[in-house]
A and B are shown apart, each in its own frame.
Chain A
């Protein structure tokens, strides 16, 4: 049986059932949209309490992160994510889940070498390249100002 790697890769791809696009997109739209609506509600709520717009934004983010962390702790967030997919990944709640879940998982290896080391396993690259991107952005802005 002679079969090239390329031929087999094509066979392999053909054998995989299609992703259920309509279902996944609907899930992501409903859940992701729902999180954004909740965010807007919180923003208006904090503004109504008399907080300035920047402070209301911060308070809204903190609340969403808090809710996501608690739901992760109770084992609910991953169930919502299973249905919502990208809808739970993209908002700030996904980032909170990505930090809390490894912290819970690796607690068994101790607070220093387990939790402390592994807490940014998933979120780490986002932080590293986020900071790097802002440095580049700042540098470009500085050059443009000089010109």
Chain B
């Protein structure tokens, strides 16, 4: 049964694993370096819908449908849905779940939502459920109109800006299934080191990623070299360099095994995404489409996934507030049994 060790880490000691996962994206994601890893790519970023919000909901539905299909189960076999997105009142998630007739828990962790959903699913699967569905999404067009400018507005983006991914990732988290197994979850604290530039979210989130990672290493008596891959959510070029610096100062320097989903999804130069990708869909799709299948194939054995979120709103930014960050960590392993 799930239990806490140290200050923040929850050990999942039943054999809770990822039964299946699926990633959905649009044209730009399909043209990126991970394009082939997506289960579904629709070049029409409206996904056949009339509004961007509906398009995002549709994307989530597709990701869930594909994950269920791969797991060879029905929606009725799912005990709980943990879902979230970036839209006000999380409508993309709630609207996509309304036909499911499965207990639904809507989450908001900004771009950290996928790890939050998978973490809660793991805790539930280790105690109260058999199958949980974790899903998150973001859509460039619905996010831009909510947080920034209309799509056709002519403007330039600063080098620290990030590109919201039009993507969704879904994972079925189940007990008594095969690898990859979820060994531990560290839910993060809200960290704020005074960054107030909403075009530099990587810098706003890096302290939260550093805090969660450091706490996890302390709680589990491990260090960065013990893992095949340490993957942050969407710190981008600016944020991931800052994270390296922060971890070095904190005594847990990150080596060659560190990467960031925001640096993997697009070709930064060719696709002109400045500092990299962002959005809930970024880490959701990279994990669901690329990393978890690689663990299933045995290419990767131990992975720390740390999704990062910037917890501001357009209102808080206009009121001059600084941007708090959060990061949630999932420790995946392809080996059964305890590793801590």
Question: By the criterion CB–CB under 8 Å, are B159 and A18 in contact?
Answer: yes
Q: Which residue of B lies closest to A82 (CB)?
A: B156
Tell me the bound Cα distance from A129 to B87 in angstroms.
32
Give Cα distance in the complex from A83 to B241, angstroms: 28
User: How far is it, in angstroms, between the C-alpha of A21 and the C-alpha of B249 when the chains are bound?
Assistant: 33
A-contact 0/1 string along B226-243, CB 8 Å cutoff: 000000000001100110
- B19-27, B147-155, B163-171, B172-180: which lies at the interface: B147-155
Q: Are A98 and B249 in contact (CB under 8 A)?
A: no
Decide if A17 touches B153 in the complex (CB within 8 Å): no
Stretch of A4-12, A46-54, A55-63, A137-145 lying at the B interface:
A4-12
User: Which residues of B sit under 8 angstroms from A100, Cβ to Cβ?
Assistant: 152
Residue of A17, A80, A104, A106 near B154 (CB, 8 A) is A80
- The reply to whether A9 and B195 form a contact with Cβ atoms under 8 Å apart is yes
B159 & A78 in contact (Cβ 8 Å cutoff): no
Name the CB-closest residue of A to B155: A81
Q: Is B36 an interface residue (CB 8 A)?
A: no
**A108: which of B50, B153, B194 is its contact (CB, 8 Å)?**
B50
A5-B194, A16-B159, A19-B159 in contact; A97/B152 too (CB < 8 A)?
A: yes
Taking CB as reference atom, which chain B residue is nearest A94? B154
Among B153, B203, B210, residue most surrounded by chain A Cβ atoms (within 10 Å): B153
Q: Within 8 Å of chain B (Cβ to Cβ): is A44?
A: no
Question: Contact partner of A122 among B151, B153, B156, B193, CB < 8 A?
Answer: B153
A24-B193 in contact given A1-B210, A12-B242 (Cβ < 8 Å): no
Chain B residue, CB-CB nearest to A103: B150
Check if B338 is an interface residue, CB within 8 A of chain A. Answer: no
Total A residues in contact with B, Cβ cutoff 8 Å: 39
Shortest A94–chain B CB gap in Å is 7
Contact A102–B153 (Cβ < 8 Å): yes
Shortest Cβ gap from A17 to chain B (Å)? 4
The CA of A24 and the CA of B145, in the complex, are separated in Å by: 25
Number of A-B contacts defined by CB within 8 Å: 99
**B158 lies within 8 A of A19 (CB):** yes
What's the Cα separation between A102 and B150 when bound, in Å? 5
Q: Flag whether A136 is at the interface (Cβ < 8 A).
A: no
State which of A3, A75, A84, A94 has its C-beta within 8 Å of the C-beta of B249: A3
Interface presence of B250 (CB below 8 A):
yes
Any A CB within 8 A of the CB of B131: no
Scan residues 65-87 of chain A and give those whose CB is less than 8 A from a CB of chain B. Answer: 72-73, 75, 77-78, 80-82, 84-85
Whether B152 lies near A11 (C-beta < 8 A) is: no
In contact, B250 and A1 (Cβ under 8 angstroms): yes
Residues on B with beta carbons closer than 8 Å to the beta carbon of A15: 203, 238, 241-242, 245
Q: Are B154 and A11 in contact (CB under 8 A)?
A: no
Could you list 17 A-B pairs, sorted by A, with CB under 8 Å? A3-B249, A12-B200, A15-B241, A16-B158, A16-B200, A17-B160, A17-B237, A72-B152, A72-B154, A77-B152, A81-B154, A85-B156, A94-B154, A102-B153, A108-B50, A122-B149, A122-B153
Chain A residues proximal to chain B, CB less than 8 Å: 1, 3, 5-6, 8-9, 11-12, 15-20, 24, 72-73, 75, 77-78, 80-82, 84-85, 88-89, 94, 97-98, 100-102, 104-106, 108, 121-122
Given contacts A8-B207, A102-B153, A104-B152, 11 further A-B contacts (CB under 8 A): A3-B207, A9-B195, A12-B195, A15-B245, A17-B237, A18-B159, A82-B154, A97-B154, A101-B150, A106-B145, A122-B153
Q: Top 3 nearest A-B pairs by Cβ distance?
A: A81-B154, A5-B194, A105-B150
